[in-house]
Amino acid sequence: MLVENPKILLVEDDEFLVQLIAQELIRSGFTNLTLVKDGGMVMQKFQEIQPDLILLDILLPVKSGLEALREIRATDAGKKVLVMVLSNFNDPAYKTQAEQLNVKGYLIKANHTMNEIVDQVKEVLAKA
């Protein structure tokens, strides 16, 4: 794994999904979580906590997850951070844009159980 107890920035505006994802991550030992509910706060939180992994929704208030990711990738630290998209927005154009921004996965939330999402997180961190 990248580091012991990696810092994870969870960017999600759906309160129910935040609870489910956070609960499953914590149950799996990922206790160093920071939550952000709108795209306008992503860059500020990224700079504050310097996460090891960002779990990023696409459709967010204020600005989209991809807009926030472009801002992050424009920084030195942001070029290296691991990012996984967790979205229900299944648009091939957005997926292509995300892949061009070097995401390590683009998971459609409705198609994966919480356990599968956590397994993907573990896999991405293990490969880092």
36-58 per-position pLDDT tens digit: 999 999 999 999 999 999 999 99
pLDDT at 2 over 70: no
pLDDT at 108 over 50: yes
**Which of 81, 66, 115 shows the shortest CA–CA distance to 6?**
81
For the full predicted model, state whether its pTM sits above 0.85: yes
Give me the count of residues in the chain: 128
CA distance to 31, 60, 93, 103, per residue, from 53 (Å): 13, 18, 23, 10
Range(s) of the domain holding residue 21: 8-127
pLDDT at 128: 85
Structurally, the chain folds into a number of domains equal to 1
Q: Give the start-end residues of each E strand in 32-117.
A: 33-36, 53-56, 82-87, 106-108
Residue 115 lies in a domain: yes
pLDDT at 32 over 60: yes
Contact 18, 10 (CB under 8 A): yes
Tens digits of per-residue pLDDT, 53-79?
999 999 999 999 999 999 999 999 999
CATH number at residue 118: 3.40.50.2300
Residue 2 lies in a domain: no
